[in-house]
């Protein structure tokens, strides 16, 4: 299997990026999230998932291992295929997707083409435990999207989301230094932490 492809991006189209590796162009189906981070003529690394069937050999490529992990989790949900998974990640990205699952935000998922309310509910139901139980005590019992007015609640959710994305507690703590989280949404805290990690 391919773990990643590293080379020059020679072509970008809707849900497609072509990576030139040693003179061979590999067509990777991908999300708008990943496409937004690529530029034609520049080198990039795409982490891959290969979907092999009798009549096809499709390669899916993502700019981060976090997005690849989200894609693989989505494929494990009953009724979700590669097309729907890409559509969801195209409108959410890995950070917002993780938050949508943990906060049971159906609207974030139904914003994707072809994803209805029932499918969104199934995705949340099947993935909320896989994304960790660390924040479940902070969430309401009902299926409605929670209201988290306190900075502490948002901070806890942001820390949990970053942990689920694979970051260690020491990295999370370091990224939070200097960030005034009071009044910030969970998504804003996650975004600021990720930016701080990149700048380090």
| The last residue of a domain, from among 117, 136, 155 | 136
pLDDT score for 138:
36
- Position 178 in a domain: yes
Among 48-52, 85-89, 113-117, 150-154, where is mean pLDDT lowest?
A: 150-154
- Asked if 13 and 39 touch (Cβ cutoff 8 Å), the reply is no
Shared domain for 116 and 162, answered yes or no, is no
Shared domain for 50 and 85, answered yes or no, is no
- Position 142 in a domain: no
Output the six-digit token pair for 117: 């309310």
Helix 65-75 vs helix 117-127: angle between axes, to the nearest 10 degrees? 110
Q: What is the CATH number of the domain that holds 127?
A: 1.10.150.20
The larger pLDDT score, comparing residue 178 to residue 106, is at 106
Shared domain for 84 and 117, answered yes or no, is yes
| DSSP symbol at 20 | E
Question: Phi/psi of residue 81, each to 5°?
Answer: -105, 180
**Of 129, 136, 17, which Cα lies nearest the Cα of 73?**
129
The boundaries of the domain holding residue 15 are 4-63
pLDDT score for 134:
34
Helix 82-102 vs helix 117-127: angle between axes, to the nearest 10 degrees? 60
56-81 mean pLDDT: 92
pLDDT score for 143:
41
Shared domain for 85 and 110, answered yes or no, is yes
Distance CA 63, CA 30 (A): 9
Shared domain for 83 and 126, answered yes or no, is yes
pLDDT score for 102:
81
Number of C-beta neighbours around residue 119 at 10 A: 20
Give a three-class secondary structure readout of 64-94. Answer: CHHHHHHHHHHHCCCCCCHHHHHHHHHHHHH
């Amino acid at each position: 299997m391919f773990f990643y492809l590293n080379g020059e991006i020679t072509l970008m189209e809707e849900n497609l990026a072509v990576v030139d590796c040693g003179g061979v162009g590999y067509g990777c189906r991908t999300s708008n999230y990943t496409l937004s981070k690529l530029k034609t003529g520049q080198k990039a690394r795409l982490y891959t998932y290969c979907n092999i069937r009798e009549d096809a050999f499709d390669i899916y490529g993502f700019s981060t291992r976090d997005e690849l992990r989200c894609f693989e989790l989505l494929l494990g949900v009953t009724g979700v295929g590669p097309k729907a998974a890409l559509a969801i990640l195209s409108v959410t990205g890995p950070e917002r997707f993780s938050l949508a699952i943990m906060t049971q935000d159906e609207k974030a998922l139904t914003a994707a083409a072809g994803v209805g309310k029932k499918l969104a509910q199934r995705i949340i139901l099947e993935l909320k435990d896989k994304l960790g139980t660390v924040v479940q005590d902070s969430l309401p019992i009902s299926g409605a999207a929670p209201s988290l007015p306190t900075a502490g609640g948002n901070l806890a959710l942001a820390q949990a989301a970053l942990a689920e994305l694979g970051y260690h507690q020491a990295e999370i703590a370091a990224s939070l230094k200097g960030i005034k989280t009071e009044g910030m949404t969970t998504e804003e805290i996650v975004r600021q932490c990720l930016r701080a990690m990149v700048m380090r």
